[in-house]
């Protein structure tokens, strides 16, 4: 018969809970459609890792972001380009490819206008880069 001490039992339960949470995390843009923002991570030389929030939309099951000039400079100058970190709804994905998708810019702009009421002002700012976020095999936690 195996005897479990309180500490051993707590350690096993905690380990199983963490393992179950890691397996449950998955890339599911459709589940996040109602969220307002996600966080992107870049790593610019001399500045280190940096997280910043961005609006996003989901079109046909694909996640898109529309970036302004400052965000574009961070993404383009990142040591991890074309990969970004993504955090959303308590999950973190370490390696998500930011695929430029200029042909989707108009559709993404319309979807942003439908989703975010304040886009009535934001749409007048320059958004030179539309990215489709594509997880890699190592993106899931």
Q: What separation in angstroms does the CA of 24 have from each of 28, 89, 97?
A: 11, 13, 21
Long-range contacts of 45-54 (CB under 8 A, 24+ apart): 45/77, 45/79, 49/85, 50/74, 51/85, 51/87
Q: Which CATH class is domain 27-135?
A: mainly beta
> Does the pLDDT of residue 51 top 50, yes or no?
yes
- Which stretch of 31-35, 45-49, 115-119 has the lowest confidence by average pLDDT? 115-119
What's the average model confidence in pLDDT over 58-75? 94
pLDDT-based confidence at residue 117 (cuts at 50, 70, 90): confident
What is the per-residue pLDDT across 104-116, written as a single tens digit (0 to 9) for each? 999 999 999 988 8
Element (H, E) at 72: helix 69-77
Q: Where are the domains of the chain?
A: 27-135
């Amino acid at each position: 018969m195996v005897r479990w001490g309180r500490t051993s039992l707590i350690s096993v339960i905690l380990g199983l809970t963490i393992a179950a949470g890691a397996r449950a995390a998955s890339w599911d843009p459709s589940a996040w459609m109602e969220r307002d923002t996600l966080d992107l991570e870049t790593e610019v030389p001399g500045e280190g890792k940096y997280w910043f929030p961005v609006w996003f939309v989901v079109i046909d099951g694909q996640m898109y972001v529309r970036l302004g000039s400052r965000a574009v400079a961070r993404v383009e100058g990142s040591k991890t380009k074309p990969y970004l970190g993504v955090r959303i709804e308590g999950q973190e994905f370490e390696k998500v490819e930011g695929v430029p998708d200029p042909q989707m810019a108009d559709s993404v702009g319309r979807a942003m206008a439908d989703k975010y009421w304040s886009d009535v002002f934001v749409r007048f700012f320059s958004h030179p880069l539309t990215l489709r976020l594509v997880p890699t095999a190592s993106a899931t936690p």
